Amino acid sequence: MAATSRALLRWQFDLTWSLFEYHLERIEAADFLWAPTAHCWTMRPGPSGGWTPDWADTEPDPVPVPTIGWLSWHIGWWWTVAMDHLGGRPPRGRADVGWPGAGEPTVAWLRALRAEWLGHLDRLTDADLDRTATFPWQDDEHTVAHTLGWVNAELMKNAAEIGQLRLLRAAERA
């Protein structure tokens, strides 16, 4: 059954990525920091260079609408931390995951994260899927297979958000 689970999780990931790739191929640098509303989270120039994401430790009400830039950083952050956990490394902090900037640098970064993720997936054995995993959870009731499913779901959600923002911006310019 584990081999079937692994194949299904990989198929789901590949499907999700192909839907995301549709938008990555069409995204423009100016799309990344386009703010669809005044109440949004975005990436801001950092005090010593680089970029800093808007963030709140307690979710605000109402939740700010994220920009494509913020969403792309968010993907990089949670995906990097998931790979740290899967690889048995100490997870990086939010401030330790930098955003490359608008346009092709971020698209290339996301594609590189995908390639790294596929390397992790290809090394997993059937027994690995049943190992306990505490990310993104803080308990011992979830497995590596749960983490893989969560990555697929999180990527699908973020890809849909990015796609919708890209389409809204394109419609606004039409």
Q: Dump pLDDT digits (tens) for 116-142.
A: 999 999 999 889 999 988 888 777 789
Picking from 136, 134, 128, 131, the residue whose alpha carbon sits closest to that of residue 154 is 136
**How far apart are alpha carbons 14 and 20 in whole angstroms?**
10
The number of domains in the chain is 1
The CATH number of residue 10's host domain is 1.20.120.450
Q: Is residue 169 part of a domain?
A: yes
Query: What pLDDT score was predicted for residue 6?
Result: 86
Could you tell me the residue range of the domain that residue 12 belongs to?
2-34+63-173
Q: Dump pLDDT digits (tens) for 85-112.
A: 999 999 999 999 999 999 999 999 999 9
Picking from 108, 90, 86, the residue whose alpha carbon sits closest to that of residue 99 is 108
Mean pLDDT of 20-31: 97
Q: At residue 2, does pLDDT exceed 70?
A: no
Query: What pLDDT score was predicted for residue 82?
Result: 96
End-to-end CA distance of the chain: 50
Q: Is residue 168 part of a domain?
A: yes
Q: Is residue 22 part of a domain?
A: yes
Query: What pLDDT score was predicted for residue 151?
Result: 96
Q: At residue 60, does pLDDT exceed 70?
A: yes
Q: Is residue 50 part of a domain?
A: no
Q: Is residue 29 part of a domain?
A: yes
Q: At residue 161, does pLDDT exceed 70?
A: yes
Mean pLDDT of 158-162: 98
Tokens at residue 57, please?
Answer: 């430790």
Q: Dump pLDDT digits (tens) for 3-13.
A: 678 899 999 99
- pLDDT bucket at 1, cuts 50 / 70 / 90: low
Q: Is residue 44 part of a domain?
A: no
Q: Which of the 8 DSSP states describes residue 90?
A: P
Query: What pLDDT score was predicted for residue 145?
Result: 93
> Is there a contact between 36 and 165 (Cβ–Cβ < 8 Å)?
yes
Query: What pLDDT score was predicted for residue 58?
Result: 95
Q: Is residue 55 part of a domain?
A: no
Q: Dump pLDDT digits (tens) for 28-43.
A: 999 999 999 999 999 9
Q: Is residue 11 part of a domain?
A: yes
**How far apart are alpha carbons 5 and 174 in whole angstroms?**
44
